[in-house]
């Protein structure tokens, strides 16, 4: 009943959706029977644009366990019993990015009026997954974490990631945090599967994917120059 109007009028509701791990849809029974299905489909599509990884359920689903929902926790840093793949859910962002790319590639002449209307407030929220095939040097990772805190601050709604650190290839590093607060780097004892790519999920406001990727590219160059200067200094001392 109230979901679309709330998202249009209140930016805080958009931020809450972007941050959520689980979203419950209520009050479908208050809609006329012929309106319930299309209204729900449109709302879910909008929620998915904001947050492709959240689990979306109806409050009246018989399979919904409220007790289980209340017991669910975020990943405890370093907890080897937790399924880090489910927590990160990078595949949801990668699938969304591929879908959007195909849509834009095949339908360049679409009418965007309805899309723009839904994004009066949604347009400032960006959620995406940064993937890197090569391991990340510890110096580059340190620079990235410092830059996130200093440059994004309150605009970094959430960040979570599994990192292949060059100096520790056999155990992944876990990063997570929100706004100015980033948790200390923690380590898992082993990789959860054969995929050892670094994956970082960003949920931002006022910074889009290209902004973050440009910052990461700049930090890569700074880290590379720092490592080269350190190596030259060590060679000169031999």
Task: Supply the CATH number for residue 205's domain.
Answer: 3.30.1220.10
Q: What global pTM score does this model have?
A: 0.73
Alpha carbon of 72 to those of 30, 65, 109, 223: distances in Å?
Answer: 29, 11, 43, 38
Q: Per mean pLDDT, which range of 85-89, 103-107, 149-153, 218-222 is the poorest?
A: 103-107
Instruction: With respect to residue 37, please indicate whether it lies within any of the assigned structural domains.
Output: no
Would you call 25 exposed, middle or buried from its count of C-beta atoms within 10 A (0-12, 13-18, 19+)? middle
Which of 75, 104, 72 lies closest to 89 in space, CA to CA? Answer: 75
With respect to residue 146, please indicate whether it lies within any of the assigned structural domains.
Answer: yes
Of the candidate ranges 98-112, 193-207, 217-231, the one whose mean pLDDT is the lowest = 98-112
Tell me whether residue 53 is in a domain.
no
- Is residue 231 included in any domain, yes or no? yes
d(CA 83, CA 74): 10
Q: How far is CA 221 from CA 9, 52, 96, 225, 229, in A?
A: 42, 31, 29, 6, 12
- Domain that includes residue 179, residue range: 124-238
> Reduced to 3 states, what is the DSSP secondary structure of residue 27?
coil
């Amino acid at each position: 009943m109230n979901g679309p109007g709330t998202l249009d009028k209140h930016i805080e509701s958009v931020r809450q959706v972007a941050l959520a791990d689980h979203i419950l849809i209520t009050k479908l029974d208050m809609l006329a029977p012929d309106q319930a299905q299309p209204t729900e489909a449109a709302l879910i599509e909008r929620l998915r644009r904001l947050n492709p990884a959240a689990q979306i359920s109806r409050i009246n689903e018989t399979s919904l366990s409220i007790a289980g929902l209340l017991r669910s926790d975020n990943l405890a840093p370093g907890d080897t019993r937790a399924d880090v793949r489910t927590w990160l859910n990078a595949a949801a962002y990668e699938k969304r990015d591929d879908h959007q790319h195909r849509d834009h590639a095949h339908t360049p002449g679409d009418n965007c009026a309805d899309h723009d209307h839904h994004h009066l407030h949604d347009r400032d929220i960006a959620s995406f997954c940064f993937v890197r095939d090569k391991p990340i040097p510890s110096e580059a990772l340190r620079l990235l974490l410092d830059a996130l805190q200093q440059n994004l601050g309150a605009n970094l709604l959430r960040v979570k990631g599994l990192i292949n650190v060059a100096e520790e290839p056999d155990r992944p590093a876990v990063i997570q945090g929100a706004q100015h607060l980033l948790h200390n780097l923690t380590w898992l004892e082993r990789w959860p599967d054969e995929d050892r790519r670094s994956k970082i999920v960003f949920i931002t406001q006022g910074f889009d994917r290209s902004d973050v990727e440009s910052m990461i590219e700049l930090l890569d160059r700074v880290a590379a120059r720092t490592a080269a200067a350190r190596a030259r200094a060590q060679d000169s001392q031999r």
